[in-house]
Chain A
């Protein structure tokens, strides 16, 4: 998680949100610790066995948590864009706002001239 951490330091959210603000649920303390346990175990397993996608790919469950976290803070701003029914289909916020949390990309940045 070095790259996500490094890029989070430079991101727009680093002053207002830490890892757990976006990556754990806000519903209840139980849900939060269940998520922590789940990810803690599978991250350790992946890193110990070395068997993981690199660049890493987010799981559906974690992706849902991130989306809910965006809305936890920004709900009032985007409520007119939300689906009519709860759980309806919608585009993820980070589909476009990909680097607000952390870029996590080692992709080269084009040098824009000297």
Chain B
């Protein structure tokens, strides 16, 4: 007889069901994980093979970056990231005033618009906004040449240029071809106009998105924070209406091939002048190659430069020293070379078209004609060890990054300190903390020396003012004014340069050392103008040589 235990029979069955369910769940999860890994692998391989898909067409009129962003979303995201986590507009969001942080800057820029409003820089996203609201522009008339760099101006220059040359300037013609000659012509035509005029023209230019008038980043309120329309909507028919863009994709990329290119006439002219001169440029081998060639055509960076050089040249279109007011067209002083003295010599040799000697401003306190340094990052980098080793701007400021399996250069252009791993550790195999501390060392030394140079400059200005009060006229002060200009040029060169001495630390220290020397020379000379005649020193006793044993 078979014994059936009714109490136990459900248990093994239920147990089997549990095991079965568990097996099923584990298998389902396992399959899910494997499927996920396989799909990611496939996606990664696909990304590596096809880095981008061109879903819309862009051409030479596509100033608006939004269509480009559809094709190259990662690059576009990077570009937008230069705003930070979001765009911070309004007067409360403005960065710290440098004038408050370093009060000697007010003495340096006395009589010049920089003494009104001068702040820490922000990312590329803010270039047009911040220019529109700075009191240098809203309170003082400025030249339209300022937009050469702060706005995306190639289509504007080209359209004005084509009109001036009497050629077809329709949208179709503008979209078809770049035409550097027309850009050059338009740049010259526009450079005589005021900032407001050129900005209004820029806003009216076709940008490739005719049905849309909303820029990626907010535009500056017309007239700044205290202007005509502060806090109020601008009427529809106002010339300030329309869409203007800060520097966008088209300014550095060829829309057909995506190759990087330079578009700014200021740079194209200056690098041509540099090549035609004989200043050594060991970090730019293509210039040497051109100089050794037949020189049948002028040096053209878009044709002659290597890709590695172009990765610096695109930045050198704006991050340089230049003259950009209204007395002559925008000029970079590179014909004598890229060192600080070379730039200074170029300005000393320059006269304005009206025949007067070149000067940026007359110093408000002493009356000396002085030069304003803009932000010579490209020039200072050119003197440093990184340039000499073939490292471009983009290698550190736009380091390669991986998005999935796609490799691209980061378009969130920023300080390499923000991503030491990607920027520095390709070459420097030390820890991030060690590298950060090296940079900190360089920059804090530079800051300390800069403070000393600022103090020396202040003492110099005081001494010159005292000499003037004591009756010294401009004729008596002539040589002192030259010393003042040289001291201020050197101080401003490192103070305005945005790397805090890092781009070429030894060179920065040398320049500041010279600044201190010229300031003190000028101070001593100014003091001598009102000091009594120095007495003769011949009769003063002089101690003989000591410490030598007299032979017995």
A residues lining the B interface (CB < 8 Å): 44, 47-48, 50, 53-55, 57, 98, 105-114
Q: Is B257's beta carbon under 8 Å from chain A? A: no
Known: A48-B37, A108-B391. A114 touches B425 (CB 8 A): no
Give the nearest-CB partner of B425 in chain A.
A55
Known contacts A109-B390, A110-B390: does B427 contact A53 (CB below 8 Å)?
no
A-B contact pairs, 28 of them (CB 8 A): A44-B37, A48-B40, A48-B41, A50-B402, A53-B421, A53-B425, A54-B402, A55-B421, A55-B422, A55-B426, A57-B425, A98-B429, A105-B426, A105-B427, A107-B391, A107-B426, A107-B427, A108-B390, A108-B391, A108-B392, A110-B389, A111-B285, A111-B306, A111-B308, A111-B390, A114-B288, A114-B289, A114-B292
Q: Does B401 contact A (CB under 8 A)?
A: yes
Inter-chain CA distance A53–B426, complex, in Å, is 11
B44:A113 contact, CB within 8 angstroms: no
Say if the beta carbon of B64 comes within 8 Å of chain A.
no
Interface residues of B (CB under 8 A from A): 37, 40-41, 44, 285, 288-289, 292, 306, 308, 388-392, 395, 400-402, 404, 421-422, 425-427, 429
Q: Report how far A50 CA is from B306 CA in the complex, Å.
A: 32
What A residues does B308 contact at CB under 8 A?
108, 111
Q: Min CB distance, B311 to chain A, in Å?
A: 8
- Residues in A neighbouring B401, C-beta threshold 8 A: 54
Residues in B with CB closer than 8 Å to A53 are 421, 425
A92 to B402, CA, bound (A): 29
Residue contact B288 to A106, C-beta cutoff 8 Å: no
* Nearest 3 A/B pairs, CB to CB: A110-B390, A114-B289, A107-B427
B400 (CB) vs chain A CBs: closest residue: A106
Determine the chain B residues whose CB is within 8 A of the CB of A105 once the complex forms: 426-427
**How far apart sit A98 and B421, CA to CA, in the bound complex (Å)?**
18
Query: Given the complex, which residues of A lie within 8 Å of B388, measured CB to CB?
Result: 110
A112 to B288, CA, bound (A): 11
Which of B285, B391, B422 sits near A54, CB closer than 8 Å?
A: B422
What are the residues of chain A within 8 A of B400 when measuring CB–CB? 106
Contacts of B37 in A (CB 8 A): 44, 48
Closest to A94 in B: B429
Contacts of B40 in A (CB 8 A): 48
Residue in B402, B404, B426 whose Cβ sees the most chain A Cβ within 10 Å: B426
**Which residues on the B side are within 8 Å of A47 (C-beta)?**
44
Q: Report yes or no: B288 in contact with A113, Cβ–Cβ below 8 A.
A: yes
Task: Find chain B residues with CB under 8 A from A98 CB.
Answer: 429
A92 and B40 CA atoms in complex are apart in Å by 37
Specify the chain B residue showing the minimal Cβ separation from A49: B40
- Shortest B466–chain A CB gap in Å is 52
On whether the beta carbons of B426 and A106 are closer than 8 Å, the reply is yes
Given A98-B429, A106-B400, 11 more contacts at CB 8 Å? Answer: A50-B404, A54-B421, A54-B422, A55-B421, A55-B426, A57-B425, A105-B426, A105-B427, A107-B395, A110-B390, A113-B285
Docked Cα-Cα span, A113 to B289, in Å, equals: 8
In the complex, residue of chain B having the shortest beta-carbon distance to the beta carbon of A112: B285
Q: How far is the CA of A57 from the CA of B395 in the complex (A)?
A: 19
Chain B nearest CB from A93 CB (Å) reads 13
Cβ distance B309 to chain A, nearest Cβ, rounded Å: 9
